[in-house]
Structure 1
Amino acid sequence: MGGIMILGVISDSHDNIKNLEKVVNQLIKFNIDALIHLGDIISPFTLKFLGEKLKNKKIYAIYGNNDGDKLYLKRTADIYKIQIEEQPIILNLDGHSLFMFHGFGDLDKTLAIANSLAKSKVYSSIIFGHIHKPYLNYVNGVLILSPGEVAGIFNNPSFAIINVPSFSAKILQVE
């Protein structure tokens, strides 16, 4: 690919299409190159929505702990050329490895895993969802990021933008 790549990062949409549409409209304004959904998509119609709205963008997705109908999520993903897999996914972009997972257990456990991975310096970025809370930190120069939640269940809806290869990132509120 080469050059600067802009990644949109979302998680925990929980079928809230109203908020998801707002996020996607904001991401389009950022001219993202790819979208990463870190899990808890829930229903196939949510993937269909993403596939139709972002049809010219690469979309990567991870199954979350609430994604029950994996058969139809996978079928829908295949129709829209969305790459969806069990966690973790290691995504390689221009020689940089992104470690992506949904999350495990509570906030402390998920952050402990992310921090341990960052300390290894094997990956350029560790990104995760599940905690429904925005989180941005750097450990040993490695980006650790949770975009928060799209659904707005526990916190204000949010998403993130990551610039590759600098791995500068920002978390934004849904407008």
Structure 2
Amino acid sequence: MLVGVVSDSHDNINAIKRAAALFRERGVELVVHAGDWVAPFSAKALREALGDGVRIVGVWGNNEGELLYFQRVASQFGVEILGYAGSVEAGGRKIGVYHGTSDLLTEAMVRSGMFDVVVYGHTHRVDVRRVGPTLVVNPGELCGYLTGRRTAALLDTARLEAEVVEL
């Protein structure tokens, strides 16, 4: 199964649309967003750009305003918000998702043995590595505001590999 992974979109609708186009082109079945969507219209934009049929799951980051309002509005567009952290099954793999605001909590998830993959964001820097059997994926920033690079990742659950793509 191919999973699209993004984080730190920060309301950049053009970047969201570019990521969605990549995900449609590659046949992604699930999109995981590791937080810092910022406003609910970003969830709406992602759903509209992807169309129906692709599951979208995400967590809150440290820049969303009214969290429960965000969750309620996102759910109207078929976007599942797991709270600050959560997990999702995809292609027989368990994926832990957390924004990454605490390095300690991120590493605890990575080293817990609970997940095949841990997805996080927050740093705006790409990080793809293995810690024991666990694949760690930070897709970098979708918005491109801090690094000047708009990036997303494609996670292949069969091979347990991730490819980072600059948009």
Note whether the superposition's TM-score is higher than 0.5: yes
Q: Partner of 2:145: helix, strand, or coil?
A: coil
Note if 1:72 corresponds to 2:65.
no
Q: 2:42 pairs with 36, 46, 57, which one?
A: 46
Q: Normalising by structure 2, what TM-score? A: 0.91
CA distance in 2, matches of 1:119, 1:84: 24
Structure 1 residue aligned with 2:57, among 57, 60, 77? 60
* Secondary structure in 1 matching 2:156: strand
Number of equivalences? 165
- Answer yes or no: is the 8 Å Cα contact 1:41–1:47 preserved in 2: yes
1:133 to 118, 125, 131: 125
Taking every aligned residue pair, what percent have the same amino acid on both sides?
27
Aligned pair partner of 2:142 in 132, 147, 150: 150
Tell me the TM-score normalized by structure 1. Answer: 0.87
Decide whether the 8 Å contact of 2:58 with 2:97 is kept in 1. Answer: no
Alignment partners' CA distance in 2, 1:114 and 1:71: 23
Deviation of 1:115 after TM superposition, in Å, equals: 3.8
**CA pair 120-82 structure 1, distance change in 2 beyond 3 A:** same
Moved over 4 A (4+): none
Shift of 1:94: 4.9
Match for 2:11 among 12, 15, 21?
15
Q: Is the 8 A contact 1:114 1:144 kept in 2?
A: no
Distance of 2:120 and 2:114 partners within structure 1: 16
Residues 18-33 of structure 1 aligned to structure 2 (within 5 Å): 18-33=14-29
Aligned mates of 1:96, 1:35 — CA distance in 2: 14
Post-superposition shift, 1:88? Answer: 1.2
For residues 103 and 133 of structure 1, the distance between their equivalents in structure 2, rounded to whole angstroms, comes to 11
User: Deviations 1:76-123 (Å, cap 9, x if unpaired)?
Assistant: 222112111212112123542211100124xxxx2x544443333321
Q: Secondary structure at the match of 1:59?
A: strand
Q: Within 2, Cα distance between the matches of 1:119 and 1:71?
A: 30
What RMSD, in angstroms, separates the aligned Cα atoms of the two structures? 1.6
Structure 2 CA distance for aligned equivalents of residues 31 and 135 of structure 1: 23
- Secondary structure of the corresponding residue to residue 124 of structure 2: coil
Residue aligned with 2:56, SS = strand
